[in-house]
Amino acid sequence: MRAVPEVRAYTGNYVYTELRNIGYGGGVNDEHDTRLADLEARVAELERRAAERPPDPGPAPATAPAPATGDAFFALNALRDHVTGRGGVVFAGLVRDEEGEHAESALEWQQGLSVERLAELDWSQCAAPLDALGHPVRLSLLHAVWSGTRTVAGLAELSGFGTTGQIYHHVHQLSAAGWLTTLKRGHYAIPPERVIPLLAVLLAAGGANRSTP
């Protein structure tokens, strides 16, 4: 008997293996030769198919996790990466016009100080700007001006602001504290650099937690 070497074909997904012991005697040898030829043909076909199959790309590369969305504390999380010492206090805002996200321009503002600097300030110097806001009529007047009523005559047409003389008194108080500025004679507006600080004061005063009566 003669041993026929192992025949192995790689198809990419599996391995086909065949081993035969072939004798030298007459018809048996012819029969095994036939089976060997058939095996070789099958191996050749498997090799042909393996060559035609596209290469296996392997496992997909690992991808970084997508950034989290809807982070309610995005500002605080960013602040941790930027302050040292005892910390810091920052307020910021972005105010678009009535067109919303499609507006071409927006008012943007950011302001902050370290805790150390805030501790060194004379807090009593903040009394005048805060005192000007400490009257409900003046706050309502600021709201009306921000909403588009820019003249004393227009404010006088709204209820709750009193007489023209009383309105001028409130306007004077707000202007002296920097919460209003004169655009032209008789026309007033909140200075752009005070819009977001004013909204921040309202937010800090609990405006978001109060319901409309």
| Separation CA 108–CA 193 (nearest Å) | 9
Q: What is the mean pLDDT of residues 110-133?
A: 95
pLDDT tens for each residue of 13-43: 433 343 333 333 444 455 555 665 666 677 6
For 126-137, the pLDDT digits (tens) are 999 999 999 999
Structure tokens at 6: 């192992």
**CA 80 to CA 70: how far, in whole Å?**
18
Question: What pLDDT, on the 0 to 100 scale, is given for residue 57?
Answer: 52
Measured CA angle at 164 (ends 158, 167), to 5 deg: 75
CA pair distance 107, 104, nearest whole angstrom: 11
Task: Answer whether 13's CB lies under 8 Å from 45's CB.
Answer: no
Q: What is the pTM of this model?
A: 0.62
In Å, how far are 15, 16, 112 from 5, measured between CA atoms?
Answer: 16, 14, 83
Residue 11's pLDDT is 41
> Is the pLDDT higher at 123 or at 33?
123
pLDDT greater at residue 50 or residue 151: 151
With beta carbons less than 8 A apart as the criterion, state whether 194 and 133 touch: no
Q: How far is CA 207 from CA 123, 139, 174, 199, 203, in A?
A: 23, 12, 20, 9, 5
pLDDT for residue 165 = 94
Instruction: Render pLDDT for 137-178 as a digit per residue (tens, 0 to 9).
Output: 999 999 999 999 999 999 999 989 999 999 999 999 999 999
Beta strands at 2-3 and 181-184: parallel, antiparallel or unpaired: unpaired
Where do the domains of the chain lie, and which CATH numbers do they carry? 2-52 (no CATH), 74-120 (no CATH), 123-209 (1.10.10.10)
**Region 102-123: what's the mean pLDDT?**
88
Average pLDDT, the chain: 77
